[in-house]
Amino acid sequence: MSGGEAPEAGNAALTRRWQDVMMDNFGTPRLPLVRGRGTRVWDAEGNEYLDFVGGIAVNALGHAHPAVVRALSEQAASLGHVSNLFVAEPTVRLAERLLGLAGRRGRVYFSNSGAEAVEAAFKIGRLTGRTHMVAAAGGFHGRTMGALALTGQPAKQDPFRPLPGDVSHVPYGDVGALRAAVTARTALLVLEPLQGENGVIVPPPGYLRAAREITAATGTLLVLDEIQTGVGRTGHWFAAQAEGVEADVVTLAKGLGGGLPIGATLAFGPAAGLLTPGTHGSTFSGNPVVCAAALAVLDTIERTGVLGNVRRAGRRLRHALEGPDHPLVREVRGAGLLLGVVLDGTHAARVQRAAQERGLLVNAVAADVVRLAPPLTVSDREVEVFLDGFGAALAEVLEEGRRAA
């Protein structure tokens, strides 16, 4: 297409344009989207969808939330990027706010993504003077090289070996395996409070508390990856708060920016002092415009009672989907509005497709698991609309299976 030609319109045309110019690491996305408002999005042909993917748990307040739009506009009109050579007030205020939500004294490093937040934690671990690290099989911490070394998914790791670091992976939820692996030579143990990308896996009660006790006994840093679970996604500011567990390092991203790219690494106690001048950095660290958006997200969640809505909507979804009307559903895992609908068989891709045909966007995160991560502001009415359509999609796939048998 030359500079003077109008771009092709429509879903097929926009998809072809993607295929012509984009690297193929994502494959071809299933649907081109051009507009969003709240929990709704529209494709290039004007079809409307109820979005229960939420940018993979990113759009905490939905699409085009007025508070985020206003914060972005006002900050961009005032002070944009200044780099880490200068101080910007929104950056300082966001760090203060995150530490306040954690209820602890500490320090914050801002980055541009969850993977970068984990990379900072990886470096903090190295600065302890120890090199061994422990992570959980099935865990996902990002795709940059350090984060990938901690990710416990061999299919993602194998093309890029050898990976940095001396990392041991242990079964998730197994306290005995933690006790055997974490020793006085272990720099850090990194865990997700629940494993989002692995099919929304929830550990047994007391697992995080045991991890805290084990790491405290060995002088190991406990790193909790709250990139997917943090910022209210489970009905708490941080998922670990439900068990009263305080980590040495917490990583955040996804919902923090409400759709804007930002990561944060929070460190407490001795870990907070390990990054010193020259040990780490990023040109875009603490960008004022993105920090202003993140502050708007936090303000809105707190001011409008969003955490209560997360707990209420999550309970409604779980109760309805685990009921007798849905025989294809084996169980529903997760917390708040991060839920994994576990199916009786490897039907997730077909359920995802049937739901989309009914105007619902969901994520087949595993062969037998459909992940739900709608905006935290989803209304009671939207939950009911979703349940009606998703129930019909489940029934269709169940009937297809019966006919095929």
Q: What is the DSSP string of 291-344?
A: HHHHHHHHHHHHHTTHHHHHHHHHHHHHHHHTSTT-TTEEEEEEETTEEEEEES
The reply to whether 330 and 184 lie within a common domain is no
What residues make up the domain containing 392? 31-64+305-404
Q: Is 156 a known active-site residue?
A: no
Q: Is the pLDDT of residue 2 over 90?
A: no
Task: Give the end of a domain, one of 303, 332, 357.
Answer: 303
Does 373 fall in a domain? yes
Annotated catalytic residue within 122, 238, 254, 386: 254
Annotated catalytic residue within 52, 122, 225, 368: 225
Average pLDDT along the chain: 96
What pLDDT sits at residue 401? 83
Max CA separation in the chain (angstroms): 67
Q: How far is CA 396 from the centre of its chain?
A: 30
The reply to whether 145 and 234 lie within a common domain is yes
SS (H, E, C) 286-298: CCHHHHHHHHHHH
Mean pLDDT for the stretch of residues 93-120 = 98
| Cβ(209)–Cβ(245) below 8 Å | yes
Binding residues for N(2)-acetyl-L-ornithine: 143, 282
Does 15 fall in a domain? no
The reply to whether 315 and 283 lie within a common domain is no
Annotated catalytic residue within 110, 140, 238, 268: 140
The reply to whether 136 and 274 lie within a common domain is yes
Whole-number percent of the chain with pLDDT over 90? 96
As a dihedral over the C-alpha atoms of residue 321, residue 327, residue 332, residue 336, rounded to 10 degrees, the angle is 0
* Tens of pLDDT, residues 267-297: 999 999 999 999 999 999 999 999 999 999 9
Q: Is 380 a known active-site residue?
A: no
Does 267 fall in a domain? yes
* Tens of pLDDT, residues 235-245: 999 999 999 99
Q: Is 123 a known active-site residue?
A: no
| CATH number of the domain within which 56 lies | 3.90.1150.10
Q: Is the pLDDT of residue 94 over 50?
A: yes
Does 325 fall in a domain? yes
What pLDDT sits at residue 6? 62
Task: Give the end of a domain, one of 269, 303, 337.
Answer: 303
Mean pLDDT for the stretch of residues 116-123 = 98
Mean pLDDT for the stretch of residues 20-37 = 96
* Tens of pLDDT, residues 153-203: 999 999 999 999 899 999 999 999 999 999 999 999 999 999 999 999 999
What pLDDT sits at residue 52? 98
Task: Give the end of a domain, one of 275, 303, 331.
Answer: 303
User: Would you state the structure tokens that stand for residue 279, as one six-digit string?
Assistant: 């040990």
Q: Is the pLDDT of residue 1 over 50?
A: no
Does 330 fall in a domain? yes
Does 9 fall in a domain? no
What pLDDT sits at residue 403? 86
The reply to whether 182 and 261 lie within a common domain is yes
84: confidence class by pLDDT, cuts 50, 70, 90: very high
| CATH number of the domain within which 124 lies | 3.40.640.10
3: confidence class by pLDDT, cuts 50, 70, 90: low
Mean pLDDT for the stretch of residues 93-111 = 98
Does 1 fall in a domain? no
Binding residues for pyridoxal 5'-phosphate: 114-115, 140, 225-228, 283
Mean pLDDT for the stretch of residues 340-354 = 98
Reference 271, options 249, 238, 252, 240; nearest CA is 249
Number of domains in the chain: 2
